[in-house]
Structure 1
C-alpha cells in the first residue's frame, strides 16, 4: 500500500511526487490524505516547487491508504517515479566525521577492502575524536590540519571535511534519478560498494530550500578509493541515484529544523539471508544544510531548481562473506532508507547494465508534454 512508504504523519503532510500514467509522467500532490494529479495545472515538479501556493486540487486519484504501488518486485498499482524531473541533481560528500575517515581509509587502502581495517585503526589511533567536534574552516580545524600534515596523514578528503570548501558534485543528469520501487544500480566491475542513505534537500529556482526527500547515493568504494579523480565513475552510473518516495514540502508542520534533527535509518536484506541495519543522525553533520545550499549556489545558477544530497555518516564495515572483508552489495539486495517524517525509500539492487536503461531525457519529456497539450501548464 502507498501509505506504508509515507511519513508517519502523512495525513498532515504535503507530499509532492511523480507517477507514470498511461499518457506519461505526471506531478502529483498528496494532501489531506488524498492524492491529486496536478498535470493540468503544472507540468513538472520543478515548476510546482517554484509556486508560492501549491494548493490546487487537480484530479483526485483517491485516498492514500487505499492506493497500491507497483515496483520491480510487484507490478500492481501506481508506478512511483523519482519526484525530481528538471532539477539538477547535486550531492555533497564527506559532511560527517565518520564519512571523512572512511574516505581517507579508501584512499590509503587504494580501494582494497582487505587493507582497510589496518588503515582505519591507524588513523583512529592518531587523531582520536578530534574530527567530530571541529567546525570546518575554523582556526581549530586549521590546527588539526597542520598536525595531520606533520604526521603524514593529510588527505584530500580531510580537506573538504574540515577545510573552508565543501565537496559539491553532480550526482546524476537531469531526469536520470530513479524512485521508490525501482532497481538501483551498482557497476558490475565494482567489488566494494555500499548504499549511502541521505536526506535530499530540494531548492526552487531562487535557491531557496522548499522541501526534502530521502536519497540513496550509491557509492563504489573501490573505484573512488583508487583515485578521487574517479569520482564520476564511482558516483554517476545508470540507476545509481535514488530519490523518494515524495518531496515533503516545507510548511508550518515541517521545515529545515526537522531536516537538521532527522534520523535516517538503513536496512539491507540480501537474498543470501544477510541483514544489515544502521542509522545516520543529521544532528552530527559537520556543515549545516543551509551552508551546503549556499556553497552549491556560490558560483552557479539553477533556473529549474536543484536537489542536493546532504551526505551520510553511515559507512558500513560489517563483514558479509568473510572476516575482514567488510560489506559489499550483492545483486537482489533489498535496500530500505527511512526517516519518520520523510517515509521509506525502497529499492532492489541490480547491476547497472542490467537495470532498465535511462532513455527518457529532456527532449522526450518535452515531446510528451507537447503531445498531451500540457506545455501551457508549464508556462
Structure 2
C-alpha cells in the first residue's frame, strides 16, 4: 500500500494507492495524521487504511492523471553519504582531481563505525513529482543522486519509504570536503516522491531496485541500476546516528545514499529530465532548470 498527496480544486488530498493502482481518498490531511490515528488505536497505519477503504470505491481518475504533490511535507531532509562502494569510488575520483583507483579520507568514512550524515533540505527547498530541480550557477559538474528515503518519526521509527533525488555538485565537493554544504544545499536541490510505501507492507527493505534515467532532447542519455542490497550499512544504523543527541521531527526524511553515478564526463544541462524509479514505490520525475537561463528569461 502506498500513500500519495495530489492537488484537487486547489487543495491537497491524501489518498491510498493499492498494488493494482486504484486510488482511494482518505479522510486525513497528511500521512502523519494517519499515523497518529493508528498509534492511538494501537494498530498499524495499513490496518487503518484497510478499514477506511473497505467499503469505498476508487476514484475515477487514474493515478497517472493526478497532479501529485510531495507525499509528505518533511520538515527536514537529511542524507547519508558514502554508504555504497560506488559512491566511495566517485568521491575519491572527485577529491583527487580525476585519479582512478585513488584512495582518500572517503575510504576511511566508508570503513568507519560512524557514518557520514549531513543536512540536506528543508520543507521550502524540497520539491515533489514533476517540479523543477535547479542547477547550481557556480558549478560545472552536476548530477542527480537517486536514493531510497526513510520516513521517520521523532523517535527514529521508520514509517515508510520514498524515492529521493539528492542533487550534487561534484566539482564543489571535490575541491574541498568542507564545501559539502554548498555542494548539496541550494534552491530546488532536493526532491522526493511520488509516494510513500508504508513500512509494514515491505517484507525486505534491502531488496528495493533503484533505476535512474536521464533524458536530453527526448532521448535517453543515461541509465543506471542498483539495489539497496548493495548498501554497506543498515538502515537502523544510519537512523541511530541521526537521532543520537539530536532533535528529530515527525516526518523527517533520511536519504540513504546512492549507488548510481553517471559517467565522470557527464553533467546535467538545462532541459534534462530525471527519472528515479524504485520498485514498489514509483517513478519520481523532475525536469532540470538552469538558474542562469531562468534569470535571463525572467528579465526579458
Any idea what SS the aligned residue of 1:26 has? strand
Task: Give the conservation status (yes or no) of the 8 Å contact 1:240–1:352.
Answer: no
- Residue 24 of structure 1 corresponds to which residue in structure 2? 11
- Residue 170 of structure 1 corresponds to which residue in structure 2? 119
1:296 counterpart (242, 247, 268): 242
- Residue 321 of structure 1 corresponds to which residue in structure 2? none
Shift of 1:353: 6.4
Cα RMSD, aligned residues only: 2.5
Alignment of 1:173-252 (within 5 A): 173-251=122-200
Counterpart CA distance in 1 for 2:30 and 2:100 is: 45
Counterpart CA distance in 2 for 1:88 and 1:330 is: 27
- Residue 85 of structure 2 corresponds to which residue in structure 1? 97
Going by fraction, where is strand more abundant, 1 or 2? 2
Any idea what SS the aligned residue of 2:137 has? coil
- Residue 338 of structure 1 corresponds to which residue in structure 2? 277
In 2 relative to 1, CA 217–211 (structure 1 residues): closer, same or farther, beyond 3 Å?
A: same
C-alpha offsets along residues 332-352 of structure 1, whole Å, 9 cap, x if unaligned? Answer: 111111122122111111124
- Residue 280 of structure 1 corresponds to which residue in structure 2? 226
Any idea what SS the aligned residue of 2:133 has? strand
In 2 relative to 1, CA 35–176 (structure 1 residues): closer, same or farther, beyond 3 Å?
A: farther
2:32 counterpart (46, 67, 71): 46
Task: Give the conservation status (yes or no) of the 8 Å contact 2:80–2:255.
Answer: yes
- Residue 202 of structure 2 corresponds to which residue in structure 1? 254
Moved over 6 A (4+): 58-61, 353-356
Shift of 1:266: 1.1
Shift of 1:282: 1.3
| Count of matched residue pairs | 283
Counterpart CA distance in 2 for 1:86 and 1:37 is: 21
Any idea what SS the aligned residue of 1:328 has? coil
Larger radius of gyration: 1
Counterpart CA distance in 2 for 1:236 and 1:333 is: 20
Task: Give the conservation status (yes or no) of the 8 Å contact 2:2–2:281.
Answer: no
**When the two structures are superposed, what TM-score results if normalisation uses the length of structure 1?**
0.68
Counterpart CA distance in 1 for 2:64 and 2:112 is: 47
Task: Give the conservation status (yes or no) of the 8 Å contact 2:74–2:253.
Answer: no
2:23 counterpart (35, 55, 58): 35
Q: Give the unaligned 5+ runs of structure 1.
A: 1-13, 70-77, 110-115, 124-152, 319-325, 357-379
**When the two structures are superposed, what TM-score results if normalisation uses the length of structure 2?**
0.85
Counterpart CA distance in 2 for 1:354 and 1:27 is: 35
Q: Give the unaligned 5+ runs of structure 2.
A: 39-44, 296-300
